[in-house]
């Protein structure tokens, strides 16, 4: 079997085609920086057996996770629009039953044991990343309601540069989310609201979403030696 025909080869090959479909080609002179948002208490306390960029299949399992399959693409950029190469992108989110893989983030109604819950990807020379995951769902855990969202952490050279969250644009529960509503500047708010659109020619109803992440400072300016999240002590705010 040729490398491109393997599962990971297919995922890697999809990156450029998906990004080409969803990513605009022109930069503004100065891009709006993606706002920093709390990591929250549910960053994995124990990593899953598989940590690649396909959250639907754990290792070589046969049964995939349940949910609306989503091809999530984007770029990590500097404020001037330069791609950030070899940035370490992490995502984590609840499964279709509204459970995190964190041991204290389980929904009383159970969890999907086939959902990886966490993934990582190293950006390419164009700053691009790609994940195959599910469209996020709302949840109410330990008395806290959250609208659908996906957590992101960006690191480079073992230093956390940004922690933020992606939200589903137009979702009816967005007005109830206290984290999203902390962003009062509409221009900043728009940077974390993402369309989940039907993927053209998909016969199984897959979705495509694109989330470009703009760092407010260059990696060199941000590398202060303080480690957070998966690269050090997790933030519990």
Which SS3 state, helix, strand or coil, does residue 20 take?
Answer: helix
User: Is 71 part of the annotated catalytic residue set?
Assistant: no
**pLDDT tens-digit readout, 82-140:** 999 999 999 999 999 999 999 999 999 899 999 999 999 999 999 999 999 999 999 99
Q: pTM score, two decimals?
A: 0.83
User: Is 184 part of the annotated catalytic residue set?
Assistant: no
Catalytic residue among 149, 159, 160, 171: 149
**pLDDT tens-digit readout, 198-214:** 999 899 999 999 999 99
Mean pLDDT of the chain: 85
User: Is 139 part of the annotated catalytic residue set?
Assistant: yes
| Spatial distance between the Cα atoms of 120 and 87, rounded to a whole number of angstroms | 10
Catalytic residue among 102, 120, 146, 171: 146
| Spatial distance between the Cα atoms of 95 and 112, rounded to a whole number of angstroms | 6
Catalytic residue among 42, 43, 100, 111: 100
User: Is 100 part of the annotated catalytic residue set?
Assistant: yes
Catalytic residue among 71, 151, 159, 160: 151
Sequence-distant (≥ 6) Cβ neighbours of residue 61 within 8 angstroms: 114
Q: What structural domains does the chain harbor?
A: 3-23+30-231 (2.60.130.10)
User: Is 149 part of the annotated catalytic residue set?
Assistant: yes
């Amino acid at each position: 079997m040729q490398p491109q025909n393997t599962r990971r080869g297919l995922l890697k090959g999809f990156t450029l085609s998906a990004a080409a479909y969803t990513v605009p080609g022109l930069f503004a002179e100065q891009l709006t920086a993606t706002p920093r948002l709390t990591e929250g208490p549910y960053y994995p306390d124990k990593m899953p057996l598989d940590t690649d960029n396909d959250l639907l299949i754990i290792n070589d399992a046969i049964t995939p996770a349940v949910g609306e399959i989503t091809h999530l693409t984007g770029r990590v950029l500097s404020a001037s629009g330069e791609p950030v190469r070899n940035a370490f992108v992490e995502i984590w989110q609840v499964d279709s039953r509204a459970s995190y893989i964190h041991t204290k983030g389980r929904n009383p109604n159970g969890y999907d044991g086939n959902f990886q819950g966490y993934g990582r990807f190293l950006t390419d020379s164009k700053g691009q990343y790609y994940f195959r995951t599910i469209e996020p769902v709302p949840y109410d855990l330990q008395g806290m309601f959250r609208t659908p969202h996906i957590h992101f952490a960006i690191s480079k050279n073992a230093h956390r540069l940004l922690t933020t969250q992606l939200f589903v644009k137009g979702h009816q529960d967005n007005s109830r989310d206290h984290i999203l509503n902390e962003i009062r500047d509409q221009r900043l708010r728009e940077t974390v609201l993402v369309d989940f659109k039907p993927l053209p020619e998909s016969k199984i109803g897959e979705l495509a979403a694109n989330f470009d992440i703009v760092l407010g400072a260059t990696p060199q300016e941000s590398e202060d030696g303080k480690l957070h999240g998966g690269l050090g002590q997790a933030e519990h705010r």
